[in-house]
Amino acid sequence: MTMLKTFRGGVHPLHGDHEGKAQTRGEPTRAIEPKTVTLLMGMHLGAPSEPCVKAGDRVKLGQVVGTPVGFLGLPVHASVSGEVLSVGPVQSVSAPNALAVTIKNDFRDEWAELPAPLGSVEDCPADQIVPAIRAAGICGMGGAAFPTHVKLAVKEGQFCDTIILNGAECETHLTCDHRLMLENSDRVVDGLRAAMRALNVPRGVIAIEDNKPDAIEAMRRAAEGRAGVEVAALHTKYPQGGEKQLIQVVTGREVPSGKLPLDVHVIVMNVGTAAAVAEAVIDGKPLISRITTVTGHVDRPSNLRVRVGTPVRELLEACGGISLPEDRVGKVVMGGAMTGFPCPGLEVPVAKANNGIVVYDAKEARETEETPCIRCGRCVDACPMGLNPYLLKHLCDAGDMARAQKECVMDCIVCGSCSYICPAHRHLTQTFKAMKDAIAAEAKKGKG
């Protein structure tokens, strides 16, 4: 099979600054114990789960507190043991009234009764793996939070010949996947092998950007002697870890517009997701914690193993707090610099897919003002999808939905490369995202 060096387009954000990762890439993961956790019912893509506890109930670690709804649904598990304080709407990173269960931690970590583990990857029953993944509440941990059992659902007539583990971590600042691959290499490989076994896939590729030579080395060692598992070192360039770019680079295939990776016989999973799969299959443990990188203007930038639902405030406190006077704090972003979501407040809880918290000062966070487009074409060179962002922006500003669609606005992956590179600071990515949402809403209205 062909292996390309890299995809066409892309940018090098914070290139002179080690992609913003220098502060935390050498920091070993440490676990923190939250005082309370707020478990959002809608942590995954799909219908929010249904809470099955009420205020005052005592819950144990790993107990189901939210039951799945619909095909895309996932259960939510208590990430601490203790007393349920409330069940109701809270502020999440994207919504002011997201349904959540809040639990006060009693610091006893009493486990609930867990399903029996399936055993080692070599001799677990293959047909039980996907149900076990769903029961463990696992969704994609790289950002999009797509439920993993759905991703692994291969329909009649489809087949998968390659599973790619995404350890590229092309986003700036984040080092959680890097640390995971260094510290838990075997778990990552086990998770990959479990997924390969579940779908009878011959080839598994762990793709890592070449700015993490130690992680490449560690994964190579862990993969040694494991049939079908290989490690690929990729060029360091954003968005190398974009699903479509990764597939193109590793397999030479292109996902046709509007289709899924499985249509080109590939499944892409985050390395964190793979580790969670291993926990679920080998230990029967649900997804209750993850590694999150806390960096930027904090006293002690760290990689933290946090319980799902820990408020952002507790993460920052565990890192010595924000190292800026209050009036100079600009924004707190969940995720990396290219795609992260700005936090509306510090009580927002960490969800299963939150890979980082980055604190920016007021100067870094000041709003860039749009100036006239000078048609320099840098956005065209940067777009990893081959779009014409400068042209699309004119069409979107004019509200021309039909022509924007003709110019493939729906193929935009909202990676932020064009906005990053634009010398006129035009708000390209956010405009495209708004246009995509509007078109999707229109399509839904037409159908409904």
Partner 1 sequence: MKLNLNPAPHVHSRQDTRWLMGNVLIALLPCCVAGVVYFGVPALMLMAVSMASAVLFEALWQKLCGRKLLIADGSAAVTGLILALNLPPRAPWWLAVMGSAFAVVIVKGLFGGLGDNFINPAMAARALLLASWPKFMTAWTAPSGLDAVTSATPLMTPAAWTPLELFLGRIPGCIGETCKLAILAGLAWLLITRTIKWHIPVAMMASLCLFSWIFGKDPVAAALSGGALFGAAFMATDYVTCPVHPAAQMIYAAGAGLVAAVIRSYAGYPEGVTYGILLMNAAAPLLDKCFRRRVYGHGREAAK
Among 81, 203, 360, 396, contact with partner 1 (rule: CB under 8 A): 360
Q: How far is the CB of 289 from partner 1 (least distance, A)?
A: 26
> Least distance (Å) from partner 1 to the CB of residue 366?
8
| 94 or 120: CB nearest partner 1 | 94
Task: Please report whether residue 264 would count as binding partner 1 according to CB under 8 A.
Answer: yes
Site map 402..441 versus partner 1, x via CB under 8 A: ------x--x----x--xxxxxxx---xx--x--------
Site for partner 1 in 143-182 (CB under 8 A): 172
85 binds partner 1 (CB under 8 A): no
Contact stretch for partner 1 (CB under 8 A) within 12-20, 122-130, 151-159, 184-192:
12-20
Quick check: 371 binds partner 1 (CB under 8 A)? yes
- Scanning the structure block, which residue is given the tokens 């992260």? 340
Under the binding rule (CB under 8 A), the answer on residue 448 touching partner 1 is: no
For 72: left if phi > 0, alpha if psi spans -120 to 50, otherwise beta; the answer is alpha
Beta-carbon contacts of 8 under 8 Å, excluding residues fewer than 6 positions away, are 384, 386
Nearer to partner 1, 88 or 252 (CB): 252
In sequence order, what are the beta bridge partners of 289?
A: 307
Q: Which helix (H) or strand (E) holds 76?
A: strand 76-77
> Token pair 């149900």 is at which residue?
131
Measured distance CA(278)–CA(194) in Å, rounded? 7
For 401, phi then psi, to 5°, come to -60, -40
Query: Which residue reads 């076994």 in tokens?
Result: 197
Per CB under 8 A, 337 contacts partner 1:
yes
Sign of CA dihedral 81, 85, 87, 92: negative
In the bound state with partner 1, the residue whose beta carbon lies nearer, of 207 and 287, is 207
The nearer residue to partner 1, 50 or 400, going by C-beta atoms, is 400
Name which of 191 and 336 has its Cβ closer to partner 1: 336
Q: Rule CB under 8 A: is residue 256 a binding residue for partner 1? A: yes
Q: Among 253, 300, 305, 403, which residue interacts with partner 1 (rule: CB under 8 A)?
A: 253
Quick one: which of 376, 440, 441, 443 contacts partner 1 (CB under 8 A)? 376
Sequential DSSP letters for 277-290: HHIIIII-----EE
Q: Among the candidate windows 24-32, 188-196, 285-293, 333-341, which touches partner 1 by CB under 8 A? A: 333-341
* 96 touches partner 1 (CB under 8 A): no
Q: Which is nearer to partner 1, 146 or 390 (CB)?
A: 390
97 binds partner 1 (CB under 8 A): no
Work out which of 326, 445, 446, 448 binds partner 1, going by CB under 8 A.
326
The span from the CA of 310 to the CA of 290, in Å, is: 11
CB within 8 Å of 102: residues ≥ 6 apart: 36, 37, 38, 39, 84, 85, 86, 87, 90
CA atoms within 13 A on the CB side of 292: 32
CB 145 within 8 A of CB 138: no
The smaller minimum CB distance to partner 1, of residues 126 and 329, is found at: 329
Q: Which is nearer to partner 1, 58 or 394 (CB)?
A: 394
Strand ranges, E, within 329-385:
329-334, 341-342, 356-361
In sequence order, what DSSP letters do the residues of 54-107 get, joined into one string? Answer: -TT-EE-BT-EEEE--STT---EE-SS-EEEEEEEEE--SS-TTEEEEEEEE-S
